[in-house]
Chains A and B, each alone.
Chain A
Amino acid sequence: MNAPLTVEKANLSPKDFATDQEVRWCPGCGDYAILKAVQKTLADIGAQPATTVFVSGIGCAARFPYYVETFGFHTIHGRAPAVATGVKLANPELDVWVVGGDGDMLSIGGNHLMHALRRNVDLNILLFNNEIYGLTKGQYSPTSRVGTRSPSTPKGSIDRPLSALNMALGIGARFVARAIDTQQKALPGILEAAWRHKGASLVEIIQNCIVYNDEAFAAFTERSVEADAQVHVVHGQPLIFGKERDKRLKRSENGYGLEVAPLGEGDPLIHDQTDRVLAGMLAALEPPMPVAVGILLDDPAETSWERAVRAQDAAERRPDADLGAVMRRGATWTA
């Protein structure tokens, strides 16, 4: 087994996490903002380039590792969570980040995302959701809304989109968050929380594709509407929002959903990031309801999967085990 690595905090700046490679996303792509936030997060948490690994699949987002001055592995379409699982299995001491888009992680790689979350592998999974296939030139994706016109759906898409966060919650994920590419103040904090969470963390980052799906999220990300169209959830804080901070979320009459009510009449609902049911209700909010942003669920298990696997194996390990003796065990005879 690899020796435990030094976990000394590195004193590096965000710039130290930039590589010498030219960043080749389209001008104005939301990925630039995410890259910046990730590099800041790495500096904030004192990440060591030597013990940090970025694993990605295929797609625009998956170019990410080339731009982060750590270990990086640009793998194949959809398989990043599976490769990352192997990395953690071999060396649980590494900090492993997984980066991919909605096509990569929810379509071709949906199965691996599902099982990484189910097993609770200690991975920080960043899902860049732009509701479109960018690198293959604009086809609709599993998160595209019904009616999306694209080269493959000229009359509009028919498939219903999936909610990445509700899917993750259904699978049993224990850290589920949503962030927005342009929110540079909030994003590093959410990423840091994902990193602190021991176990699988899924952060859906709403990301604008300026070329193929521009303004897809304008209804809740435009400066002029965002205060009324988003609710920022903070553990232990009331679920209130609005330009005037005058609206609150409350449980609907039948108890199964959330409704908007004016602040002042009745106690506001308090966010509890360990409440899976509340997280599910928040994750499901779509315009015209306010879109929930922040850490919806952060309820760590006692241990993460790879540590449990290693612990079980360690109990069976015999440093003095002799393969020759094992091969000679059982029914033998001498000629």
Chain B
Amino acid sequence: MALARPDESDERRLTKRAARETAVVRFAGDSGDGMQLTGAHFTLATAVSGSDLATFPDFPAEIRAPVGTTYGVSAFQINFGARRIKTIGDRPDVLVALNPAALKVNLDDLADGAILLLDSGAFSERNLKKAGYVSDPRADGSLDRLRVVEMDMSALTKEALAGTGLTSREQLRCKNFFALGVVLWMFDRSRQPTIDWLKKKFADRPELAEANIMALDAGHTVAETAELQRMPAFEVGPAPMPQGLYRTVTGHEALSFGLVDGALKAGLPLVFCSYPITPASTLLHDLARLKQFDVTTFQAEDEIAAVAAAIGAAYAGSLGVTSSSGPGIALKGEAIGLAVATELPLVIVNSQRAGPSTGMPTKTEQSDLYQAVFGRNGDTPVVVLAARSPADCFEVAREAVRLAVHHMTPVILLTDGFLANASEPWLVPDIDAVPDFPVRFATADSGPFRPFERDARGVRPWARPGTPGLHHRIGGIEKQAGTGNISYDPANHQAMTDARWNKVLAVADEIPEQTVDQGDDEGALAIVGWGSTHGAISRAVTTQRARGHAVSHVHLRHIWPLPRNLGALLRRFDHVLVPEMNKGQLVTILRSEYLIDAKGLSKVTGKPFTIAELEDRIEAVLSPTLVMEKSA
């Protein structure tokens, strides 16, 4: 049966909606339920409405987990609001659970009074058992603290699609669009972007487009008609956003654009060499779709071959880039040392994940900072940068390219599993606003070519094979200053080690001084963060400042070398707190570099910091009585 789509303006007039500044919605279901797609479309509708937002997909490690199991649950969370959104939200206000397993896995994250939208049709005895329930949670009182909305979405979807000619199984596959219709109604969002997408996606199979649209409309209509009894309805308005054209972007999408922009601005072909590993692989996928530019992607036989080929490409005059996660970066370590010794430009992206060893590949962590700064044999300095948000990955990637090619050095760019997959609205930048930074390769001069002759910044020339008169030899063995010939001379090794070290430190002359992200440049407490903790720290600091606390937020992009003014800046605060998703890596560096009593705040659960966790700690630091009570 086809449902008529009511006029959306009529609908608005009829419904009384509770205004909310922000809302967090989590869609959860079986891996096969299409939760990521549902989340993506709710995101699109929310973005188009003008609210700010942040999203994060949380999918299982198993490719095809058995249906209905807790480890097969796939979820997608969105935080959106009429104000600027900085995190994916601590706790969902609305959980959509399409089966008992999805409920079981996510229930503990819900605060009292949260809305739970259930597909009651999926709560069969069999499914309850698969999820490990001994009793039906709907009947045993365990959901009493929540506002439960039950709806037999399975049956209602089938009912809506009766007569379409689709099999019962095919009809059930449209259930996620039914659920989407319900939630779109709940937040007064337009269905049109999804309808347009479905028509385009299923242009070859219009019957499928039509069926999904029918399911979407049915969910919307059912929500509307159920309204009088129990369906909550909200209004979340547009956020004050800087003017311009927006799209949503994931960290890896932005990173791939940033690498291409960097290559274009440097005037170099991009050769990206990688080996599949979670969560880094999507960068390889994204770049493989940007071949209209001078981009070559190479899936190597292993991590070492990937970095080695990137070094070979750099040696031959291209922008060599490799990418992995912690375990793969460990394998690349020796080759990164070769790039340091031969002073070739190289960009290494590390999408960090929970370690050690295999750890939790699909869960996020920031525990490879030591590895990035120190993790090689010998005195092996490299430049280390960290991106703070999905959108920030664009600029940081471009900056990594610039520093690598202009300082003839490897640059490690740290992202993490959260940044890689999370998305947020992106004010699409005007790439022409940033000037090109073209590379000048060495050309034949008078006299013999000296590959390790340095310029004023300590940087050696980049001489491409194929350039007449410049043939020379380089390698991982210590080289004589200037000529590059093998040298075991003691004074030469001291001089070359110092030169490599100072060259990287000199990068600090060409990076911006550290600014304060929020708050004053002196005060009671500086929260120093790096990477994807930016949003949570930022929101926590905003809240604490509103309560009158002298808290400031300093967020580092440049991990090594550190900005010139950082030590002086941090000394202007009574306390320095460094929250990290590791056991305290940046804090160790800050303490050793500046001899300041910075304190760490560690979290390694595979999940980002919540705002509440950070606020608790800020209050503890700023309230001596509380600290004393806690330590007593």
Write the residues of chain A forming the contact surface with B, with a CB cutoff of 8 angstroms.
Answer: 1-2, 5, 19, 21, 48-53, 55, 58, 65-66, 69-76, 79, 82-91, 93-94, 111-112, 114-115, 309-310, 313, 316-318, 321, 323-324, 326-328, 330-335
Contacts and interface: CB of A to CB of B under 8 A. Distances in A.
Interface of B: 44, 47-48, 50, 193, 197, 238, 241-248, 257, 260-261, 264, 269, 271, 273, 290-296, 298, 300-302, 304-305, 308-318, 320, 334-335, 337-338, 342, 427-432, 464-477, 485-486
Given A79-B308, A86-B309, 20 more contacts: A5-B466, A53-B465, A55-B312, A71-B473, A72-B474, A73-B474, A75-B308, A76-B338, A79-B335, A82-B305, A83-B315, A85-B309, A87-B312, A90-B296, A90-B312, A91-B465, A309-B298, A321-B293, A323-B260, A333-B245
Contact of B311 (A83, A115, A324, A333): A83
B247 A328 contact: yes
Contacts of B334: 76
A308 to B, nearest CB: 12
B469 A50 contact: yes
Contact of B264 (A66, A89, A323): A323
B301 A50 contact: no
B315 A87 contact: yes
B251 to A, nearest CB: 14
B473 A72 contact: yes
Contact of B308 (A70, A112, A326): A112
B317 A112 contact: no
Contact of A89 (B241, B247, B260, B309): B309
Contact of A74 (B248, B260, B302, B473): B473
Given A50-B467, A112-B301, A323-B257, A86 B50 contact: no
Contacts of A114: 301
Contacts of A52: 471
Contacts of A93: 466
A19 B473 CA distance: 10
Contacts of B291: 313, 316-317
B38 to A, nearest CB: 15
Nearest to B477: A74
A37 B238 CA distance: 75
A114 B300 CA distance: 12
A333 B316 contact: no
Contacts, number: 215
B229 to A, nearest CB: 34
B256 to A, nearest CB: 10
B293 A323 contact: yes
A21 B486 CA distance: 9
A121 B239 CA distance: 54
Contacts of A327: 247, 257, 428-429, 431
Contacts of A330: 247
B318 A90 contact: yes
B271 A89 contact: yes
Closest 10 CB pairs of A and B: A86-B312, A74-B475, A86-B309, A82-B308, A90-B316, A72-B473, A316-B291, A82-B305, A321-B292, A90-B313
B246 A335 contact: yes
B312 A83 contact: yes
Contact of B310 (A86, A115, A317): A86
Contact of A51 (B338, B466, B475): B466
Given A2-B466, A50-B467, A90-B316, A82 B309 contact: yes
Contact of B47 (A71, A73, A324, A333): A333
B343 to A, nearest CB: 13
A85 B314 CA distance: 12
B466 A49 contact: no
A19 B486 CA distance: 13
A330 B315 CA distance: 37
A324 B432 contact: yes
B301 A115 contact: yes
Contacts of A316: 291-292
Q: Which of B243, B317, B465 has the most CB of A within 10 A?
A: B465
Contacts of B44: 331
Residue of B310, B312, B429 contacting most chain A CB atoms (<10 Å)? B312
Given A83-B315, A86-B308, A94 B271 contact: no
Contact of A91 (B302, B316, B431): B316
B309 A332 contact: no
A74 to B, nearest CB: 3
Nearest to A66: B473
B310 A73 contact: no
B476 A75 contact: yes
Contacts of B466: 2, 5, 50-51, 91, 93-94
Contacts of A89: 271, 273, 296, 298, 309, 312-313
A333 B475 contact: no
A112 B300 CA distance: 9
Given A74-B475, A323-B293, A85 B305 contact: yes
A200 to B, nearest CB: 14
Contacts of A76: 308, 334-335, 337-338, 476
A72 B316 CA distance: 11
